[in-house]
Amino acid sequence: MHEAASRMLFDEEVDKLGPELLDSRRWILLKREYPMLEIEFFADDGARLRMRLVCNDWNERPPSVVFIDAQGQALSSIERDPSGVFNNSAHPSTGKPFICMKGVREYHTHPSHTGDAWETVRNNDRFTLGGILTQIWRVWRKLH
Amino acid sequence: MDEHHEKFVEVRVITTSGVYPEAGFDRVPEHQPVDDVLKKAARKLHLADTSGWLAIVAGRKIDASKSYRENALQGRVEIDWGPDHGAGGHA
């Protein structure tokens, strides 16, 4: 995908994550500089989840999602969830824990899911950047 | 003589694709199904497929096919509307 088109779509979608949404969901946008989007979720029990979405080639490819610490370093382990979306094993490509969920690059590139093509869902409203974040957030909120 | 006073709620819909209405709140009868405002929001925010989306108010999932009154909603109502949790796993 042409970088200018990818950047335009990225900016358009991130712009729509308005203050009403961020406040009510307790999300903070830490950094937005194409192709990177860093975001942190907060829960009532004090838990936090910080992630970096790497959105190069958006939306020809889904975002890569990396769990990061307060210094921006990739985490080597994460909290698991019962459904297995938060996968603590090493991804074959990145060697890091990953989100095993449709709409995330590490899912679609995992050998277990290569038949589940991103192209079949990429234009659905569930799979905008905000939609993907919402799906991840709801998984995490089940834990907190 | 009984006089019927229709009650209203003020509502807005918050999504990752924007907010409806763009400013302020819509004033609607409390007997109106919540779906009505969600349909308006979908049109305004250019949402083509919202099947399976959840409508959440103050952390509580509501039934959008029912009215505000049936959902025990009154006053100002902010609906967080978006897709359910993601699926996958089994890798």
* Position A114 confidence tier, pLDDT thresholds 50, 70, 90: confident
Measured between beta carbons, the chain A residues lying within 8 angstroms of B13 are none
The domain limits of chain B are: 8-82
Q: What is the mean pLDDT of chain A?
A: 96
pLDDT at B87: 81
Q: Which residues contact A127 (CB under 8 A, 6 or more apart)?
A: A59, A62, A102, A103, A121
pLDDT at A55: 98
Fold of A3-143: Ubiquitin Conjugating Enzyme (3.10.110)
* Position B16 confidence tier, pLDDT thresholds 50, 70, 90: very high
Angle between the A3-15 and A129-143 helix axes, to the nearest 10 degrees? Answer: 50
pLDDT at B2: 47
Is B75 within 8 Å of chain A by CB?
Answer: no
Strand partners of residue B82: B54
User: Using the beta-carbon criterion (under 8 Å), do A107 and B91 form an inter-chain contact?
Assistant: yes
pLDDT at A6: 98
For A67-80, the pLDDT digits (tens) are: 999 999 999 999 99
> Could you give the CA distance from residue A75 to residue A121 in angstroms, rounded to a whole number?
28
User: Using the beta-carbon criterion (under 8 Å), do B80 and A24 form an inter-chain contact?
Assistant: yes
Whether this model's ipTM surpasses 0.90 comes out as: yes
What separation in angstroms does the CA of A99 have from each of A65, A77, A129?
7, 12, 14
Q: Read off the pTM.
A: 0.95
Residue A34 identity (one-letter amino acid): Y
B40-73: b (≥16 Cβ within 10 Å) or e: ebbeebebeebeebbbbbeeeebebeebbeebeb
Widest pairwise Cα distance in chain B: 68
Strand order in the sheet with A64-67: A27-33, A36-42, A48-54, A64-67
| CATH no., domain B8-82 | 3.10.20.90
pLDDT at B3: 52
Residue A44 DSSP code: T
> Could you give the CA distance from residue A17 to residue A112 in angstroms, rounded to a whole number?
32
The domain limits of chain A are: 3-143
CB pairs under 8 A between A and B: 98
Q: Where are the alpha helices (DSSP H) in chain A?
A: 3-15, 19-25, 105-108, 129-143
